[in-house]
Amino acid sequence: MSGDQEKSSYTHPPFEAYLGDESYAFVSYAHQDVKTVYPEITKWNDQGFRLWYDEGISAAGEWLEEIAEAIGGCSLFIVLISPRSVVSQFVKNEILYALDKGRPFLAIHLEKTGLPKGLELCMSGHQALRKYELEEERYQRKLRNVLNGFLSSSTKIDMVRPSIDLPIRKIDTRHLWPGIESLPQPQPPKVEEDLPTEEVASEETSSIGLKEETAAPEEEVKEDIVPVKEPEPPLQEETVPSLVEPAAPVIEIREPDDFANVPVVGSPFTVSEIDYPMLWVKPGPLVVNLPWNDEPDTVDVTHGYWLGERLITQGDYLRIVGRHTNYFWDSDKLPVEQVSWLDCIEFCKALTALEQREERLPKGFEFRLPLEIEWEYACRAGTETPYFFGTDPDELFDYGWVRGNSKHRTHEVSQKKPNPWGFHDMYGNVREWVHDSYYTSINEGLAGEIPDEFRISRGGGYMARRKDCDSTSRVTNSLFHRFRNLGFRMVLSGIVSDPEGESS
C-alpha cells in the first residue's frame, strides 16, 4: 500500500477517545489534517498512551463543555501545528484555554509553519518538537520521553471546570402565548335599509310641479280646458321581509365522562394526535440531593401526573408544529432535538389546544414540560441509588445511549430497557428540558416563578460520559439554546376524579 493510499484509509476515527479517570493527553488539531494526524496519534495509542481527541466531529455549542472539561482534566495538552491549524479558531481557542488553565503544553510542528504573532507570543517558552526537522527515530524517541513523563503516572488530575460568566437577562415570556385557544367570532349579517316612500313621493311631486309652471295661464285653462286627473293607482305597501336573527349556536357542554379518551387516575393515557403513550405517576416521597444542601433531603410529590413513556420524536414535532429541526433526520422515530425551551412550550400549548378543539381532551387538562422534581421522581422510580438499576455504571449501556455505545449520534426512541416504572431513555440519547428548577418546585411561594432566562435539562445525552448520566445529572442552558443533544418529553396534568375520589 502506497503512502497516499495508507493515509486515505484514515478518514474515520481510528480509535475511541479515552474517557477514564487516569492521566491522559488532550490532542488539538485541524480537521483538514486528519489524513496526517490520524496515523500519527494511532501510533501513540498503540504504544499504550491514553488520548482524548474529538474524533472528527465538528465543533458546536454543545461540545464546548465537553472540550473544556477534557482540557481541564488532561495531564498534557498536545497541539499539532500546521498551516491549517494555526488559522483554525477552534484550535486557537483550545490553545488559549489550556494555557489559561496551566496545563502542561507540547506543540508538535508537523510542517514548517509561520505562527501568527499573537499565537507565537502565547506559545513562547513552552515545549515544542519540530517533526519536519528530525529523523523519524529521533523524533519518536523524544516524543516517547515526553509522553512517558506526563502519562506514565496513574495520579488522577483534578478536573478544572470552566468558569463562564453569562449575563442574566430577566424576561417575561407571557406575551408570547396570548389567546392561543381563541377562535374568530362570526360577524352579524348586515341588512340594507329600505328607501323611505316619503322621499319617492316628494321626487314625483317636484316633477309634476315643474310641468304646471310651464302650462298656459290659469284663466285660459279654466275657460277652455278642464284638466282631468287620472286616478292614481293605490299605493301598494312593499313587503319587507321580516328580519330573523340567526339562532345562537348551541354549545354542548360535555362532561369528562363523554370523552372517549378521558384521562383516568391510575391508568395510562394515549395522546391521539401523535399516538404518544403516557404513564400515570402517583404521588409519593422523593429523596433528592439538592444543590444547596450537603445532605440528601426528602421532599413530597403531592400531586399525581402522567409522564411520556418515551421522548417526543421528530415525527411528533413535525406533525404538530410543522417544521423540521433535527440535526439527525434519517428516521422520524429519532428524538426531536435542536429545540429550545421556548420551542417545547410552543409544542405543548399547541397540542393542548388541538386535542381540546377535537374534543379528545377535556378542559382542565394541559400538556407541559415536567417540573424538575417530577422528572427525577419518575426517573428514580422509587430507588435511592445513583442509577435506577443500581450503582454499577457498566450496566448503563443496557438502558441508554451514551458515549461509548452511541457512535456520536442519537438513536430511535424506546430501543433500550425502561426503568422500573416503564419509562424509556431517561438516561442518554438526548438531554431533557424541564420546566423549572428544584428551587421553584420545592418552595410553594415561588411556584411558577422563574427568575431568569436559564433553564435545566436532565438525564445526559448521547455525548455524555456514564458518570454524567445518572439520576442526579443536570445541566443549565439558556432557554434560547438549541443543541443536537437536547430534546424533551411531556407531562399531562389536571384535576380529575377517579371512582374512589382521588384527584391528580
Q: Provide the pLDDT confidence category of residue 487 given band limits of 50, 70 and 90.
A: very high
Q: Using the predicted structure, report yes or no on whether residue 452 has a pLDDT greater than 60.
A: yes
Which residues of the chain are in CATH 3.40.50.10140 domains? 3-151
Which residues of the chain are in CATH 3.90.1580.10 domains? 260-494
CA–CA distance, 144 with 242 (Å, rounded to integer) = 103
Contact 465, 403 (CB under 8 A): yes
Burial class (CB in 10 A: 0-12, 13-18, 19+), 378: buried
User: What's residue 241's pLDDT?
Assistant: 46
What is the end-to-end Cα distance of the chain in Å, rounded? 69
Distance of CA 265 to the CA centre of its chain: 29
β-strand partners of 308? 278
Contact 335, 406 (CB under 8 A): no
Distance of CA 240 to the CA centre of its chain: 62
Instruction: Report which secondary-structure segment, H or E, holds 271.
Output: strand 269-271
Q: Is 30 left (phi over 0), alpha (psi -120 to 50) or beta?
A: beta
Q: Which triple of cell numbers denotes residue 357?
A: 378543539
Tell me phi and psi for residue 405, to 5 degrees: -135, -5
β-strand partners of 301? 284
Q: Which of 436, 414, 435, 434 is nearest to 425 (CA)?
A: 414
Residue type, 477: N
CA–CA distance, 379 with 473 (Å, rounded to integer) = 11
pTM of the model: 0.55
User: What's residue 197's pLDDT?
Assistant: 41
Tell me phi and psi for residue 471, to 5 degrees: -70, -10
Residue pLDDT, tens place only, 315-343: 999 999 998 899 998 899 999 999 999 99
Beta-carbon contacts of residue 397 (< 8 Å; ≥ 6 apart): 404, 405
Residue type, 429: N
Residue pLDDT, tens place only, 184-239: 444 444 444 444 444 433 444 333 343 334 444 444 444 444 555 555 555 555 45
For Cα atoms 366, 340, 435, give the angle at the middle one, nearest 5 degrees: 45
- Mean pLDDT score of the chain, rounded to an integer? 77
In Å, how far are 146, 272, 306, 366 from 361, measured between CA atoms?
Answer: 67, 9, 14, 9
When the candidates are 3.30.360.10, 3.30.70.270, 2.40.340.10, 3.90.1580.10, the CATH number that belongs to 260-494 is 3.90.1580.10
In Å, how far are 17, 398, 467 from 392, measured between CA atoms?
Answer: 21, 12, 10
**Domain 3-151 in this protein, CATH class:** alpha beta
DSSP class of 187: P
Residue pLDDT, tens place only, 67-119: 888 898 899 999 999 999 999 998 999 999 999 888 899 999 999 999 888 88
Q: Using the predicted structure, report yes or no on whether residue 313 has a pLDDT greater than 80.
A: yes
**Helix, strand counts (H, E) of the chain:** 12, 16
Q: Provide the pLDDT confidence category of residue 367 given band limits of 50, 70 and 90.
A: very high
**Using N-to-C axis directions, what is the helix angle for 341-357 and 314-321, rounded to 10°?**
70
